[in-house]
């Protein structure tokens, strides 16, 4: 089972994905299942856009950090 949602806000794309294993007999009408019925649950979050790009360190900063990491 995989469920996900994407949202765009202020030129930022955010993805939230929930996955896990369920017993098909536990699935209720409307394709609904309780969170306590999911095993091996995993929650993934990913974002992309201008803010994420600003957090990536440039090549010059990486060079100096390789010489002196403090």
pLDDT, tens digit (0-9, with 9 covering 90-100), for 11-68: 677 788 888 899 989 888 988 888 888 898 888 888 777 666 667 778 888 888 887 7
Q: Cβ contacts of residue 23 below 8 Å, gap of 6+?
A: 37
Cβ contact 12:51 at 8 Å: yes
- Please give the pLDDT value at position 12: 73
The Cα–Cα gap between 6 and 13 comes to 7
- Residue 13, domain extent: 2-67
Residue 3 banded pLDDT, cuts 50, 70, 90 = low
Q: What is the pTM of this model?
A: 0.51
- Our count of domains for the chain comes to 1
């Amino acid at each position: 089972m995989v469920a996900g949602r994407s949202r765009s806000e202020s030129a930022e794309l955010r993805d939230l994905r929930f996955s896990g294993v369920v017993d098909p007999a536990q699935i209720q009408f409307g394709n609904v299942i309780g969170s306590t019925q999911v095993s091996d649950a995993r929650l993934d979050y990913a974002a992309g856009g201008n803010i994420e790009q600003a957090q990536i360190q440039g090549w010059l900063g990486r060079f100096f950090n390789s010489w002196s990491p403090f």
